[in-house]
């Protein structure tokens, strides 16, 4: 009987809560509501979900939190009977500070990790010459300002300073040694959003655009083992474009204690066409990893009910399709369509509030026809978010 090769990956492409390289659990209130927020978020976490929403804070809102992603992704190679397991972890944090200067003007700053991927395969993995271990992470510093020209209209804009890292390791061809790659750089971008109360207190529409960010990563390629005698350590570079995205949302309050929200988000994943490490001294090693990712829409619905003035309960649902075509689905960035179900709760006391969110992620079975290593990916993940806030 064919066995299954299993890898546990955290923090994005392998077994995170969002498809591609995206991480959208950037506030535990939104996490519990199916990661909705384009029209429904009116607190400091709006810096990520829609900067126009920061005008909803009373005076000051400070939030600090984290999301622990516990994922299990299995890969069954065609004709293989190998079974292995690895389990790295790397929870993405988030933090926000917003101050409302006047009723019409607010400003703040957020720090979060909007993109990331981490996977670790066993040392005897059948695809170890393609990928053994890889990690992508971006850290976004996002100063933001919002203005309300009319009582029912809010506008927001932010600047992104993004620090990105990409590390990878694999066995060299012929099994003659190991190659470790480590690169990093800074990039810049912007985001902008709008919220409009069509029926004040009942119906709000929102839109949010986040720009692409060009990353020209530079670093080192280190060779170890017998291959190091023939190939020297050398500088390496990699050009990556983090995709632009557009979110459209609606928030509906049919009764005083109930909030319903729905978002659709478009991500320009077609910006990821290949990963090409360029070696300075040995250009014959410049072999592109073709991806040919495709643009995708993902769909979110969520709700919040105020049990009391202090206690809120939440739930949500997400359909999140993978951008990776079957022909380029490889173990360096494994992926699959996702179904996500969420639950959450929040409690406020004095000037403090705490929010907890949980998402169960089901990775739908995905058949890869990648010619060097075809097979089937599937799995699941648990996302546990906790955010602490202070709003005097």
DSSP secondary structure, 203-263, as one string? EEEEEEEE--EEEEEEEEEEEESGGGGTS--EEEEEEEEEPPEEEEEEEEEEETTEEEEEE
User: What would the pLDDT profile of 113-141 be if each residue is shown by its tens digit?
Assistant: 999 877 777 777 776 767 677 788 899 99
DSSP characters over 109-141: EEEE--BEEEEE--TT-TTTTT-SEEEEEEEEE
CATH number for the domain spanning 301: value is 2.40.160.60
Q: How far is CA 204 from the centre of its chain?
A: 26
pLDDT higher for 276 or 357? 357
Question: Total domain count for the chain?
Answer: 1
**86: helix, strand or coil:** coil
Q: Compute the distance between CA of residue 205 and CA of residue 185 in angstroms, rounded to an integer.
A: 36
307: which DSSP letter? Answer: S
Question: For the chain, how are helix, strand and coil distributed in percent, rounded to 5?
Answer: 10, 60, 35
User: What would the pLDDT profile of 18-35 be if each residue is shown by its tens digit?
Assistant: 777 889 999 999 999 999
**Tokens matching residue 379:** 């799995």
User: What would the pLDDT profile of 231-271 be if each residue is shown by its tens digit?
Assistant: 999 999 999 999 999 999 999 999 999 999 999 999 999 99
Contact yes or no for 145/107 (Cβ under 8 A): yes
Contact yes or no for 80/111 (Cβ under 8 A): no
Domain carrying residue 43: 5-390
Question: Could you tell me the sign of the dihedral formed by the alpha carbons of 330, 289, 287, 181, in that order?
Answer: negative
**47: helix, strand or coil:** helix
Q: Compute the distance between CA of residue 161 and CA of residue 164 in angstroms, rounded to an integer.
A: 10
């Amino acid at each position: 009987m064919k066995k299954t090769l299993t890898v546990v990956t955290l923090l994005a492409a392998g077994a995170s809560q969002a498809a591609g390289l995206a991480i959208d659990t950037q506030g535990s209130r939104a996490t519990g509501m199916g990661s909705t927020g384009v029209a429904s978020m009116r607190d400091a976490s709006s810096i990520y979900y829609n900067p126009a929403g920061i005008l909803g804070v009373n005076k000051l809102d400070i939030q600090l939190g984290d999301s622990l992603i516990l994922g299990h992704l299995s890969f069954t190679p065609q004709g293989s009977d190998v079974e292995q397991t690895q389990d790295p972890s790397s929870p993405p944090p988030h933090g926000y500070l917003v101050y409302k200067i006047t009723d019409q003007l607010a400003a703040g700053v957020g720090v979060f990790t909007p993109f990331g991927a981490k996977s670790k395969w066993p040392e005897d993995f059948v695809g170890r010459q393609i990928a053994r271990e890889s990690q992508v992470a971006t850290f976004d510093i996002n100063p933001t300002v919002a203005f309300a020209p009319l009582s029912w209209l809010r506008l927001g804009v932010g600047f992104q300073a993004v620090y990105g890292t990409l590390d990878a390791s694999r066995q060299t061809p012929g099994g003659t040694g190991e190659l470790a790659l480590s690169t990093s750089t800074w990039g810049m971008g912007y985001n902008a959003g709008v919220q409009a109360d069509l029926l004040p207190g009942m119906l709000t529409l929102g839109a949010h655009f986040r720009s692409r960010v060009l990353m020209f990563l530079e670093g080192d390629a280190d060779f170890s083992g017998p291959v190091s005698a023939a190939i020297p350590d050398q500088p390496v570079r990699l050009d990556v474009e983090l995709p632009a995205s557009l979110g459209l949302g609606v928030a509906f309050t049919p009764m005083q204690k109930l909030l319903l929200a729905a978002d659709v988000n478009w991500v320009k994943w077609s910006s990821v066409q290949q990963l090409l490490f360029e070696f300075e001294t040995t250009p014959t090693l410049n072999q592109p990893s073709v991806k040919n990712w495709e643009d995708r829409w993902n769909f979110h619905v969520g709700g919040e009910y105020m049990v009391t003035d202090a206690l809120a309960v939440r739930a949500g649902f997400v359909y999140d399709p993978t951008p990776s075509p079957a022909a380029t689905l490889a173990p360096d960035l494994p992926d699959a369509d996702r179904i996500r179900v969420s639950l959450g709760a929040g409690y406020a006391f004095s000037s403090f509030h705490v929010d907890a969110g949980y998402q169960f992620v089901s990775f739908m079975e995905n058949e890869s026809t990648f010619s060097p290593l075809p097979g089937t990916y599937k799995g699941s993940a648990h996302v546990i978010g906790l955010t602490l806030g202070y709003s005097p």
